[in-house]
Amino acid sequence: MALSRLLLLCMVASEVWDAETKPIDFVCNRTARRVMNIVAEMERALSDCNGVVTLSTPVQLPCTELHVASWENKSYQERRGDIVASLRLLIEGVKIMRALSQPECGASLLQRLENNINNYLIILTNLQLSGPVVGPSLSCLPLRSQSLSTVLLRYNQLISGKLEKFMVNLEDRCTNQ
């Protein structure tokens, strides 16, 4: 029941989807989640863009440190709130980078990165979770960086750490399908 509601919401969200991964697969298909992680590809592509490798202004980094005991102590709502707050920091950072980047080189790549982060945000904010609603809340005092590779590294840590762990927790929902 919970899963079919999730799938319905995901289909609504897919209208803004950039076709790399169907949201319907996100919780139940680890391969689809791996495909949606475009960080390695971004690292390669952006290494050719000197103008965006070092940012002229620092951007905030997400909270990626995962203390297993305290993470597992959080409700699902809190876990989502933690990840969503970090994704929002990242997307703000990418918007700043995009505004400052040279149009010839990094702009379309940064747009793709922004869409990618936004897709994660859409999926997470549309997930049906039980328990009292918890809004986005950062679990650290965010550090800042002027290095695009640091930003991408932290993005990857967020996706393959907290987010992946959270999705694995939710996979129970898939077994009854």
Q: By the criterion CB under 6 A, which residues form the site for ligand NAG? A: 21, 25, 29, 31-32, 35, 69-70, 73
Closer by beta carbon to ligand NAG, 21 or else 86: 21
Closer by beta carbon to ligand NAG, 12 or else 35: 35
Closer by beta carbon to ligand NAG, 104 or else 175: 175
Tell me which residue has tokens 């919401």. 9
Closer by beta carbon to ligand NAG, 25 or else 92: 25
Structure tokens at 27: 């919780």
Q: How far is CA 93 from the centre of its chain?
A: 13
Q: In the bound complex, what is the minimum distance in angstroms from residue 68's beta carbon to ligand NAG?
A: 9
Question: Which DSSP symbol is given to 59?
Answer: E
Rounded-to-integer distance, Cα 49 and Cα 47, Å? 5
Q: In the bound complex, what is the minimum distance in angstroms from residue 47's beta carbon to ligand NAG?
A: 26
Q: In the bound complex, what is the minimum distance in angstroms from residue 117's beta carbon to ligand NAG?
A: 19
- C-alpha pair distances (Å), 17 with each of 5, 12, 130, 165: 18, 10, 25, 23
Q: In the bound complex, what is the minimum distance in angstroms from residue 33's beta carbon to ligand NAG?
A: 8
Rounded-to-integer distance, Cα 165 and Cα 6, Å? 18
Closer by beta carbon to ligand NAG, 70 or else 175: 70
Residues listed for the chain = 177
Rounded-to-integer distance, Cα 142 and Cα 59, Å? 10
Q: In the bound complex, what is the minimum distance in angstroms from residue 21's beta carbon to ligand NAG?
A: 6
